[in-house]
Amino acid sequence: MTRDRLRPRLVCAALLPAVLCVPPPATAVGFSSTTKNVDKTHLVRHMADCGTFKLKQVTDDTAARTRTYWFDGICRIWVDHMQGGLQTSKTDDRSLWAEARVTWHAGSSRLDELVQLADPQKKHSGSLRSGFKCMGDPVAHNAQCVRLEFKNLTDWSGFSVPADKDRPLLKQATTGAQVNQLAATKKLTSMSGQPAPPRAQPNDASQGNLGKPPPAAAVATTPNGAGATDQGGRRLSSPPAADAPLPDLASGARVVVAGRHSAASGGMLALSAGDVRAAANGVCQVAFEHEIRNLGAADSPPSQRRWTIDGNLDALVAPTPAIVAGATVSRVDTIGLRTGANKLRLRLDPLDQLKEASEANNEITLTVSVAGPCGGVPPPAATAAATDNLRFSPAHDGTAAPAQGRLRMPSATR
């Protein structure tokens, strides 16, 4: 990653009085924390910036007078080296995936923020939890707030000291017009007096539970129960919610290949001989670590997953355990690849045996090119019993993959 210069607003957050460091209204706040080194004139500052969030969904519970927003985004972390009050150098940025759930309680004038952070390198994952009292909904409006509580449940101290402690991280992260546009795009409706479908709640202080905006039951109404309206005062409409909650299996957005290469769905990746676990009979064995999420409001029963290579349905078929609502499990599958380009596809519930809230998020694709003497044809289908317990670790072959759930994990032993 190239070395970026420190953003001016974050220098302000680190060096100037806080009253001069309030970020622009449409920008999320920066963070910093200071650690003294052996040399008392030398400071090391752990920095963080969460300035990129995109609104994904909005739902209302008119009976409870709450509005909930879901966002996806990126947070950056790095270290500044200071001497004599000036920055002398900085480390390269590291990006963390961020998912946020923000709930505005109109009746109590309270805002609850939960930001779940996932580190692709598995070092600084965790959550940020905040509570505020506000004069209005600050997510879509410029409402003033006072912070009531804050917890940094990551191990990165840079998240502990925001530039403005009374400013919610997602303040003015969207606008009323964007909310109305999203509502119109998804054909959301008012459901006066009907609460939103149940979602799993967090059961561990170290893990956030964002739940999932329900695809069929999503609503966009005003907190006072008057119903969703556009800027012209017209009410929005959509089909009613499903009667019973459903599970919703979804593949994670990225795959970690050979224990060190992270690739997004639809991406391309080149491997060398050093990335191969084993080579025999002209086939290179490569480990693929991926997440399986249940984004629905109901537990999912045991199912299957299937890897295909260039359309070959028998590359790998393995069992997927039962997953409670809102939980995530991590699996490592070892697949035989050929020299050259391999077009891989992972499909959850490949026979469509589960009734899910959405079937559109069960699949990821990846093209992996292998260099080296691994020519030949991939091996026959591996049996589920022989493959599902196989885990990859660069230090200890065959150990279990570390748990990486952004939500609460299932209680059963996988």
Task: Please give the full DSSP string across 267-323, using - where no structure is assigned.
Answer: EEEEE-GGG-SEEETTEEEEEEEEEEEE-SSSPBPPEEEEEEETTEEEEEEEEE--B
Task: Tell me which residue has tokens 């060190």.
Answer: 260
Task: Answer positive or negative: Cα dihedral of 293, 299, 302, 303.
Answer: negative
pLDDT tens digits for the chain (414 residues)? 333 333 333 333 333 333 333 334 334 456 766 665 545 566 888 888 887 788 989 988 888 899 999 999 889 898 888 887 788 888 888 888 889 999 999 999 999 999 999 888 878 888 899 999 999 999 999 999 999 999 888 888 888 878 788 999 999 989 888 888 776 665 443 333 344 444 433 333 333 445 545 443 343 443 343 444 444 444 433 433 445 788 999 988 889 998 889 999 888 999 988 888 888 777 888 999 999 999 888 899 999 999 999 877 668 889 999 999 888 999 999 998 888 899 999 999 988 888 888 888 889 999 999 887 775 554 454 443 333 433 333 333 333 344 343 433 334 433
Dihedral of the alpha carbons of 277, 282, 288, 294, in degrees to the nearest 10: -140
C-beta of residue 32 within 8 angstroms of C-beta of residue 47: yes
> 249-370 maps to which CATH number?
2.60.40.10
Domain boundaries, given as residue ranges, for the chain: 30-186, 249-370
b/e string for 319-351 if b means 16 or more Cβ within 10 A? Answer: ebbbbbbbbbbbbbbbbbbbbeebebbbbbbbe
Between CA 71 and CA 103 the distance in angstroms is 12
C-beta of residue 57 within 8 angstroms of C-beta of residue 182: yes
Of the candidates 320, 375, 305, the one whose C-alpha atom is nearest the C-alpha of residue 342 is: 375
Between CA 125 and CA 127 the distance in angstroms is 7
